[in-house]
Each structure stands twice: as structure tokens, then as C-alpha cells.
Amino acid sequence: MAVLFYSSSQTYEQQSQVGLLDKLLGNQPFKEQLKGISFSYAASEVSIQAKGYAKFVEFFIRKGAHFGTYFLLGGSWFIGLNMKLKQPLLIAVVAWLSATGYAGLDEYHQMLTGGRTPLFQDVMLDSIGALTAVAICLLVIGVKKLRKNKR
């Protein structure tokens, strides 16, 4: 949570990896395969034509970071709470809603940070990341119970 708070305290310019991506991907690998991808995210076109190659790649890195960090947060809360309470379905709901609530607060924090745009779509992406981790945790617990009952 501290890493997320610090990250949302930075402006886009402080976080941008476009310069590094331009250096690392200077020959623009897979550009031909990627140039046909175009979609809308938060009422903005996402494509190589609209953003340029490096910003297009950075978009996926940034959104992957959203999903991944909240995947870790939701899964961590589930595992931590499960050690004490042993009520998997209740814990799943609490862990998922806690991560989603934190995602909303994080976007609000970004609204207070200059050069950042809070997006409802990012909260939904974060929430899906947390829900995925929670679902995997529930699946693992379910498989363990099935194996235990077979013995």
C-alpha cells in the first residue's frame, strides 16, 4: 500500500518510461503486428497511430501494473485474513472490497496530485486484479479441501 501511495504521489512525467522504451525498443519490434490494435479506454483512443509506439507500449505496462499490484494486494489480504479467521467466503468478500476501496482512494489521491488523471476505469481494472487473486485463493482452498476429503 505504501508503494501504491508513493506511486500515485508522482506526476505522469515523473513516472513516464517513454524515453527508456524509445531507447530499448528503438527498432520498434512487432510494430507491424501491433499497428492493427485500436480501442478506446476512458474515452481516449489507444493505438500506435494515436499515441506513438513507445506510449502505446507504456499504456500496457502501466495497466499491467494496475492489475498486478492489486492482484498482490487482494491476494495478500486474503491470505493474511485467512490465517486468523478461517472463513474463506467472508474473507474473499472483505479482501476484494478492501482492495477495491483502496483503489478508489488511490484514484482520489491521484486527483489531488498535479499532472494525474483519476479514472474510474483504473479502479475497475484494479478491482478485477484483486478479484482474480481472491478467486485463485478460493480455488486453491477448494482443491485442498477436496484432496483432504478424498483421504
116: Cβ–Cβ under 8 A, 6 or more apart, which residues? 8, 11, 12, 110
Domain residue extents for the chain:
2-150
For 101-143, the pLDDT digits (tens) are 999 999 999 989 878 889 999 999 999 999 999 999 999 999 9
- Which of 58, 102, 40, 57 minimizes the C-alpha distance to 76? 102
The whole model's pTM is what? 0.89
Q: Which residue type, as a one-letter code, is found at position 42?
A: A
104: Cβ–Cβ under 8 A, 6 or more apart, which residues? 123
Cell of 7: 506511486
Cell of 111: 486527483
For 39-92, the pLDDT digits (tens) are 999 999 999 999 999 999 999 999 999 999 999 999 999 999 998 888 999 999
